[in-house]
Amino acid sequence: MAWLESVSGHLWTLAPAVQARLRPAPVPTGERFAVSFEDPDVGEVKVTGVLRPAVDHDAPLVVVIHGLGGSVGSPYMRRLARLAEAQGASTLLLNLRGADRGGDDIYHAGMTVDIRHALRSPQLAPYQRIAILGCSLGGHMALAWSLEASDARVRAIGALCSPVDLEQGCLDIDVPARAVYRDHLLGGLKDMYTRAHARGRVRTPLAQVLAVRTMRGWDELAVVPRFGFESVEAYWQATQVGPQLGRLPLPTRLVMAKSDPMVLASTSMRHLRGLPSHVHVQHVAGGHLGFPPASSAERQLMAWLLKTARA
C-alpha cells in the first residue's frame, strides 16, 4: 500500500540518524588527506578527508563524497567505507570545501573543481584504478564531474539517492511536510556558512542566511551571490545534470530508493528513461541513504563499482 511504503521510507531515512545520535561512532581513522588550491574569488581553499589504503597496493580506490551539509563523519560514509574495505578496496572519504568546518568556503551542486583537485593530489598518484561514489548531492557532483571526464584513471561512477533535477527537487523538499529533513540540511549548511563568514569567504550578511527557512532561500542568499549566478533559476539550470545524463561517458550506476522522502523517485523519473546501455538505473526499497536490514543495495553497488574499476 502506498501509505505504508511512504511511512517505511521515513523510518528507513530516520533510523540511521537516530542510531548515530544515540550511539555516535568516531570519524573513520586513516591518513589525513588534504589538498590546497587557489579559488579565483576567495584565494586558497582546501579539500580534506581520510585516506584508508588497502593492504594490497594494487587495489582500486573508491572516492566517497558526502551529501549536502554532511562530511566524512556522516553515518553513511562510514558504512560505505566498511563495505569497500570488506571487498579489498582502498577508500578516500572526501570533505568538499568547508565540510570539515574549517571555514574555507561553501560549495554548490555543480562544483566539480574540488573533485578534480582531489584526484590530482600526490597522495592519490599511486592509484591507477578509481571509482567515485557520491551520496545524495555528492552523487550529483560526481555525475557532473563525469561529464567532464578529466581523469582517465576513473573507471566507474556511482550515485546513491542522488537528485538529478535541482529545481523540482528544491520545490519538493521545501513543502511543509518535509520540514524535518529541510531543517537538518540547513543546520549543516548554516554551520559551514557561519565559519566561512568569519573568514570573509562569503558575501551575504550572516544574519540573513541564518534566517533562511527553505532550500530555495539558501540557494538564493548563499549560493547565488557567492558564485555569481544571475538568479537561483539560472543556478539550477546551469548545474543540474538531469538533462545531460544521456551524455555520461563512463560506466555509471544510479541507485534510487523508491520511498525516498527527500529525493522523490517521481521527480527523477523523467530524466532516467532512454539512457545509454552503460548507464544503469536501479530502483530499490528504502529511504534517503537508509535501507531495510535485509537490503543488499549498497553492497551490490559497491561490488559493481569495484568490478568495473578492476576490469
Residue 278 in contact with residue 59, Cβ under 8 Å?
no
For residue 250 the three cell numbers come to 563512463
**pLDDT at residue 57 is higher than 50:** yes
**pLDDT at residue 23 is higher than 90:** no
Torsions phi, psi for 205 (to 5 deg) = -55, 140
What pLDDT shows up at residue 8? 78
Mean pLDDT of the chain: 94
Q: Does 57 reside within a domain?
A: yes
Say how many domains are in the chain: 1
**How many CB atoms within 10 Å of residue 291?**
25
Q: Does 210 reside within a domain?
A: no
Q: Does 215 reside within a domain?
A: no
Q: Does 83 reside within a domain?
A: yes
**pLDDT at residue 205 is higher than 70:** yes
Domain that holds residue 84: 2-166+238-310
Q: Does 76 reside within a domain?
A: yes
**CATH assignment of the domain containing 57:** 3.40.50.1820
Q: Does 126 reside within a domain?
A: yes
Q: Does 48 reside within a domain?
A: yes
Q: Does 176 reside within a domain?
A: no
Amino acid at residue number 80: L
Greatest distance between any 2 Cα atoms in the chain: 53
What pLDDT shows up at residue 36? 97
